[in-house]
Amino acid sequence: MDQRRLILFLVFSFALVMLWDGWLKHNQPPVPAQQAAAGVASPADGAVPTPSLSAAAPGQSAVPGEQSAAVTAAPRMVVETDLLRAEISAQGGDIVRLELKQHMASGEAGGNFVLFDDGTTRHQYAAQSGLIGEGLPTHKTVFALPASELRLKDGEDTVELRLQAPEQNGVQVTRVMRFARGSYLVDVSYEIRNGSGQAITPHAYFQLTRDGTPAEQVEAFGVTTFTGPAFFTEANKFQKVQFQDITDGDAKFPKTANDGWVAMVQHYFVGAWLPEQGVQREYFARALGNNLFSAGVILPVAAVEPGATATVGTRLYAGPQEQDKLEGIAPGLDLVVDYGWLTVIAAPLFWVLSWFHSLTGNWGWAIILVTVALKAIFFPLSAASYKSMAKMRVLGPRLQRMKEMYGNDKAKMQQEMMNLYRTEKINPLGGCLPILVQIPVFIALYWVLLGSVEMRHAPWLGWIQDLSAKDPYFILPIIMGASMLIQMKLNPTPPDPIQAKVMMAMPIVFTFMFLWFPSGLVLYWVVNNILSIAQQWQITRMIESAKPGSKAA
């Protein structure tokens, strides 16, 4: 009995302490951006990547000269759709700031969530591209902006932005960006018109440049939500790359392929370049210094003869990690959702949650239905646990009498207790297995609530307006503590007075810890406790009714 109580106490204490630690780290205030004050380089200062897929054409250098120095205050224009508000810099035509209008920023600042960031919010993060070849425009070239803003109008499905690069050696390049209604995808391409007297064989590169500071990071159970580049090919599957490995030169990822994509992953959101399948490409990841990193892809362009025009481009996804949509955008893109080491449990759990959400239209009710379903699945194990506890409760007076008789002889007392357990066919550790089995499910649900953007700012009812955040009035944690106390009352009292006091203190300790837990997780625990109380009460009543003489024995 003492061993079973000790095991349960240690397991629950460890789980809750680790969850508490992870939630505190998740909610710690962000470090203010100080890049500008510290003189940190901007993403536009990074060098142009060098292709190794094929040699540059005669007379062309693989890396263009610095014909355009970095512009610290290049003009910008705004492109706005129903989902996005993008700021486009004249320097390179980079997307230097991108607001997601359907997702609110965390914290008290409010406003739209900013994915690509020029450093004014928190990060340095930009989507860049350019051409590689003598005199061709790069992400350092200054383009001509056609207007100060461009908005998707009512009745329009797409809006197109065309940026003209300065003509060099008779070659005219236009950067084209197409934004669509209801989409986080942006088509980015280059129209190359060769007005020179010789053929050119350029390459195009598309990269995401970001600082190494995590955004909305979560850490629990020794696993941290990933921030950094990720690559996918059919041959190598999904590979994450740590910023430190890029700095050390130890980064491992596919260098060449004819499929796949490259992304910059962070908690809840992702930016990804998605080249067309079947096109040969080269992937790269580089450390630029000053805590800046680039990851991207280089695409070859067929020789452009004098007087001819060629087009090269790809798609950019910049938005939330919505799992039901990512897989349909590109193969393997749904893998950017990071559930840590319990993905094998968390992924199916999210699928079930999504199915219940499709029925109810509310993530809170979906959590309640998932809790009921899990309780039904674990019913046999729970029943065995509660039967064991109920039998122990019935034997409580006899165990207390043994303690009085053999209190000074621990060995004799343990022997008599084991004989009693064998006679009554009770496994003193029988209540541990159901708890141990359910703990991974509990932790997996924790990851689902904190790792799924669908849960971010998702309301339930009344005062619960964000299931991924704490209960603002601490109502659910208090209910959880009360339900846990009722459960403790239904359990047999430990014969050791000190242990009994510790067990009775657990509801208070857990209530305090749950004050800062995601309200969705507390909701799960409350519903689970209520169902457990009902099940345990019924089983205890049946056992006590079946053995009316046990109490008097």
pTM: 0.80
The pLDDT-based confidence of 195 (bands split at 50, 70, 90) is: very high
Q: Does the structure show a pLDDT above 60 at 35?
A: no
Q: What does the pLDDT read at residue 23?
A: 52
Mean pLDDT of the 472-480 span:
94
Measured distance CA(254)–CA(233) in Å, rounded: 8
Q: What does the pLDDT read at residue 98?
A: 97
Report in angstroms the alpha-carbon separations of 442 from 43, 73, 275, 524. Answer: 41, 50, 39, 9
Q: 125-140, pLDDT tens digit by residue?
A: 999 999 999 899 999 9
Q: Does the structure show a pLDDT above 50 at 261?
A: yes
Q: Looking at per-residue confidence, does 226 or 360 come out higher? A: 360
Domain 75-338, CATH 2.70.98.90 — does that match? Answer: yes
Q: Does the structure show a pLDDT above 90 at 242?
A: yes
Q: What does the pLDDT read at residue 206?
A: 98
Q: 492-534, pLDDT tens digit by residue?
A: 666 566 666 777 788 888 888 888 888 998 999 899 889 988 8
User: How confident is the prediction for the chain on average, in pLDDT?
Assistant: 82
Measured distance CA(503)–CA(488) in Å, rounded: 8
Q: Which amino acid is at 425?
A: K
Q: Does the structure show a pLDDT above 70 at 239?
A: yes
Q: What does the pLDDT read at residue 28?
A: 47
Q: 436-445, pLDDT tens digit by residue?
A: 777 788 788 8
Q: Which amino acid is at 351?
A: W
Q: What does the pLDDT read at residue 325?
A: 92
Q: Which two tokens stand for residue 322?
A: 């919505």
Residue by residue, DSSP assigns 253-299 as --SEESS-EEEEE-SSEEEEEEPPTTS-EEEEEEEEETTEEEEEEEE
Q: What does the pLDDT read at residue 68?
A: 33
Report in angstroms the alpha-carbon separations of 69 from 90, 138, 141, 226, 285. Answer: 13, 11, 8, 34, 23
Q: What does the pLDDT read at residue 258?
A: 95
Q: Which two tokens stand for residue 123?
A: 């990060």
Q: 85-94, pLDDT tens digit by residue?
A: 999 999 999 9
- Could you tell me what percent of the chain has a pLDDT over 90? 50
Q: What does the pLDDT read at residue 171?
A: 95
Report CA Rg, the chain. 30
Q: What does the pLDDT read at residue 60?
A: 36
Q: Looking at per-residue confidence, does 496 or 25 come out higher? A: 496
The strand pair at 76-80 and 149-151 is best described as: parallel
Q: Does the structure show a pLDDT above 60 at 553?
A: no
Give the domain ranges of the chain: 75-338, 347-546
Q: Looking at per-residue confidence, does 79 or 380 come out higher? A: 79
